[in-house]
Structure 1
Amino acid sequence: MEVRVNGNTHEVDVSADMPLLWVLRDELGITGPKYGCGIAQCGACTVHVDGVAVRSCQLAVGDLAGGEVLTIEGLGTPDTLHAVQEAWIEHQVAQCGYCQSGQIMQAAALLDRTPAPSDDVIDAVMSGNLCRCGTYPRIRAAVKTAATKLQEV
């Protein structure tokens, strides 16, 4: 089966019902998306499929239908961070860091669709991504900073 991830095409020999998360982590060695709950409730495994934030723990690889997968590894580079990644650093969002790749991917998808979200919109969209450390005020501030940075481009 062919899977397109971060601009690269990979051939994987897996069952079509294998969750995308396990294809990414176990077959392709892409470890940014994390296993948190396995039931699409925590957001740690969030990736983009054709620009839409999805929970990779519940998406069967066979359901990709040729879609383009983007993980945190493909969002930016160490030399050229995405605006959301820059804002995360600026606001020192991460504490333990476990949820952060999913948080960043959810925030990037939000800003792609809503360039200047209100606090209520940010809270609603980000509410499906849980943070055990409780950095929600910093997450909201970072999303707002990233929105400003993206509008300046």
Structure 2
Amino acid sequence: MSSITINGEAHEFSGDPNMPLLWYVRDMLNLTGTKFGCGAGVCGACTVHLDGVAVRSCQTTLGEAAGKTVTTIEGLSPDGEHAVQQAWRKISVPQCGFCQSGQIMQAASLLAKNRAPSDAEIVEAMSGNICRCGCYQRIHEAVRLAAGGV
């Protein structure tokens, strides 16, 4: 049996340790804010924090997450008032919104490590998160805005 903390709550898991964290979060805990995109770890829609670092939950197994702390979009800020979430609303970033939880989690991880990223550092950190609607300029602007409020 493995233990994992998700959004501050301890969970015990006795199933296959090779199960992707994404399936556990979505299918067993019904935390559907984390999205399935590509299943190959290249789009970023499934981004969560593992011990504070952005990871692709479709490529992270429960075995790899055992004993660690996971934060999903639902746990980033229970009231939706994290600086990144506030900036997303102020800039009106989303178009379709599908990728946005992954984008927000990636941005929050960046700002937790680097409170004042340069434009180049923002581009580099966010480059693994794909937005099919092309909202990249608004995403970039929101990350810069959030950096001022983190």
TM range (shorter): over 0.9
Give the share of equivalent positions with the same residue, in percent: 57
Aligned length: 149
**Per-residue deviation at 1:10?**
1.4
Q: Which amino acid aligns with 2:130?
A: L
Unaligned 5+ segments in structure 2 are none
2:43 match: 42
**Per-residue deviation at 1:77?**
2.3
Q: SS of the residue aligned with 1:36?
A: coil
Map 1:115-126 → 2, pairs under 5 A: 115-126=115-126
1:137 match: 137
Deviations 1:52-111 (A, max 9, x none): 000000011011131100000001123x51000000000000110000000000000000
Question: Does residue 65 of the first structure (1) align with residue 66 of the second (2)?
Answer: yes
2:103 match: 103
What is the TM-score of this pair, normalised by structure 1? 0.94
Verify the 8 A CA contact 1:12 1:27 in the aligned structure 2.
Answer: no
Q: SS of the residue aligned with 2:11?
A: strand
Q: Which amino acid aligns with 2:76?
A: L
Q: Which runs of 4+ in 1 moved over 6 A?
A: none
Q: Distance in 2 between matches of 1:31 and 1:72?
A: 9
**RMSD of equivalent CA atoms:** 0.9
